[in-house]
Amino acid sequence: MDLRHQERFHQLVSEHVHSVNAAVNGLSALPSTALAMASVKAMSRFLHHEGVTLPALIEPVQEQIRVALAQSASPDVLILHDWSWVASVTSNSDCLVSGRHNSPGYDLGSALVVDAADGRPLGPMELRLRTADCVLTTRPGNPRVPDGHINELAEVMADAKRWNLGRRPVHLVDREGDSSQHYLDWSRAHHRFVVRADEGRIVTFRGRALTLKDLARVPDVTYHAVREADGSPLCVTTSQGTGRVQVAEVQITLDQPSTRRRDGRRIYMPAPHLTVRLVIGRVVDDHGRPVALWFLITHGIDEVSAATIARWYAWRWRIESYYKLLKSAGMNIERWEQTTGEAVAKRLVVASAACLAVWHLQRDPRPEAATLRRYLIRLSGRQMKYKVESTAPALLAGLEKLLAVDALLSDVNLDEILTLARQTLPHLFRSG
């Protein structure tokens, strides 16, 4: 991007921080002498400008991620892969129509970078928005993206080696990535990954064919507790309940035939015969009863302990929080009124940059940053849980108000505003 586009990009990021009200469908203009419609028109021109490309837009986000990673204490970096449906209120001509969802929209895929040392999200290195016509991606070169979520990952993993992150990538995928043939392909390409497998998957363990669920009950598969850096037990909340994490690890062989979707058809695949390390994460309640089981198939990370791998998987919900911040907890992307998928994709990059600012504020260890977080929580009006200093949605809401106040006070004197308020609303504003 040239300098003029960069300046407009940073202005749009500020305005996206301001658009966190659920009642706001489009972009909110910061309070200033400019009319809201002028801001909306300026954004529209920016998003439809031919010189503003998706790869160019995401470059500032990627550079901030690299700067943050340079401070990481871990030699590894987690890349979380997931997809989320983005409903559209405008029903654009390039919207997808899916039987799984109640409204037309777009399919958003993300590669979110997370610090492997402490689990803090650092931002998306890649975004892909699938429309009815094509897949719009921040990856340069107009690459072809194959059908099917899992088929997208090989190219993203290969591209990650060129991201210059300064750390060893570990790709973390949920059960949608559970595919023997893909495991074989990724291992041959020397990718490092952790994928949650389905409990019904049949594997060979010590010469016996077992489901993973049955393998977890084998008597001599022993579990030990996963602990935080301070020695306390690692506790997580799952859809089945909250509990402490325990882990076990075994070696298994994937040698069952499978099927694979190619060019819209499902074809038979021979047995891969791939030996992998399996980490079993078990979440138990206060009475020792299991409430959740994670079967984590890994490759290329034998030097990492099973406890660390389980801890990494426990951080997978960061990408769910990212999508929530883009949607109902922050940016309300499903209420946007852009008329093309390309404009939606470009605005998603801008919104992600606004999220990035909040994440960086959360991880800032300086005392002044902690003080600013307290002020933003007060401005947000949100109530925090006991011993929770802040949350990203609350900081985003507080930052919205602070930016609005800053923009307003650049044109109007605070004493003048308070005088008018005391004259007009004496019951709410007492005389000083």
> In this predicted model, what pLDDT tens digit does every residue of 342-354 receive, in sequence order?
988 988 888 888 8
User: Residue 13's pLDDT is what?
Assistant: 56
φ, ψ dihedrals at 130, nearest 5°: -85, 125
CA distance 359 to 432: 38
Residue 251: inside a domain: yes
User: Residue 124's pLDDT is what?
Assistant: 94
The one-character DSSP state at 71 is: T
Q: Is the pLDDT of residue 27 over 50?
A: no
Q: Is the pLDDT of residue 377 over 70?
A: yes
3-state secondary structure of 48: helix
Q: What percentage of residues in the chain have a pLDDT greater than 90? A: 45
Q: Is the pLDDT of residue 287 over 60?
A: yes
User: Residue 108's pLDDT is what?
Assistant: 96
Pick the more confident residue, 156 or 9: 156
CA distance 155 to 50: 26
Q: Is the pLDDT of residue 20 over 50?
A: no
- CB of 154 closer than 8 Å to CB of 186: yes
Condensed to tens digits (0 to 9), the pLDDT of residues 159-211 reads 999 999 999 999 999 999 999 889 999 999 999 999 999 999 999 999 999 99
How far does Cα 313 stand from its chain's mean position?
14
Full domain range(s) for residue 217 = 54-326
CA distance 138 to 127: 6
> How many domains is the chain built from?
1
Residue 240: inside a domain: yes
Positive or negative torsion for Cα 89, 92, 94, 98: positive
- What dihedral do alpha carbons 22, 23, 27, 33 form, nearest 10°? -120
- CB of 125 closer than 8 Å to CB of 109: no
φ, ψ dihedrals at 381, nearest 5°: 75, 10
Residue 345: inside a domain: no
Condensed to tens digits (0 to 9), the pLDDT of residues 378-425 reads 988 888 888 888 888 888 888 878 877 887 888 889 889 888 988 898
- CB of 66 closer than 8 Å to CB of 50: no
User: Residue 224's pLDDT is what?
Assistant: 93
Condensed to tens digits (0 to 9), the pLDDT of residues 114-153 reads 999 999 999 999 999 999 999 999 998 878 888 889 999 9
**Mean per-residue pLDDT, 256-271:** 68
Residue 298, domain CATH: 3.90.350.10
Within 10 Å of residue 250's Cβ, how many Cβ atoms?
A: 18
Going by C-alpha positions, the residue among 155, 252, 145 that lies closest to residue 205 is 252
Q: What token pair was written down for 113?
A: 């970078």
* Mean pLDDT of the chain, nearest integer: 84
**Mean per-residue pLDDT, 218-224:** 92
Residue 363: inside a domain: no
How far does Cα 157 stand from its chain's mean position?
16
Within 10 Å of residue 251's Cβ, how many Cβ atoms?
A: 10
Return the exposure string of 327-365: e unless at least 16 CB atoms fall within 10 Å of the residue's CB, then b.
bebbbbbbbbebebbbbbbbbbbbbbbbbbbbbbbbeee
The one-character DSSP state at 227 is: B
Q: What token pair was written down for 384?
A: 């925090």
CA distance 171 to 358: 24
Q: Is the pLDDT of residue 2 over 80?
A: no
CA distance 16 to 347: 9
3-state secondary structure of 232: coil
Residue 256: inside a domain: yes
Residue 374: inside a domain: no
Q: Is the pLDDT of residue 37 over 50?
A: no
pTM above 0.95, yes or no: no
Q: Is the pLDDT of residue 261 over 80?
A: no
Condensed to tens digits (0 to 9), the pLDDT of residues 291-349 reads 899 999 999 999 999 999 999 999 999 999 899 888 887 788 888 888 888 988 988 88
CA distance 36 to 19: 12
CA distance 78 to 314: 12
Within a 13 Å sphere around the CA of 90, how many CA atoms are in the beta-carbon half?
A: 17
CA distance 11 to 8: 5
Residue 351: inside a domain: no
- CB of 351 closer than 8 Å to CB of 333: yes
**Mean per-residue pLDDT, 21-36:** 40
CA distance 111 to 389: 27
Beta strands at 105-115 and 224-225: parallel, antiparallel or unpaired: unpaired
Residue 378: inside a domain: no
- CB of 328 closer than 8 Å to CB of 106: no
- CB of 126 closer than 8 Å to CB of 108: no
- Give the total residue count for the chain: 432
Q: Is the pLDDT of residue 43 over 60?
A: no
DSSP character string of 325-350: HHTTTTT-GGG---SSHHHHHHHHHH
DSSP character string of 184-206: HHHHHTT--EEEEEPTT-EEEET
Q: What token pair was written down for 77?
A: 């970096």
- CB of 346 closer than 8 Å to CB of 287: no
CA distance 58 to 12: 14
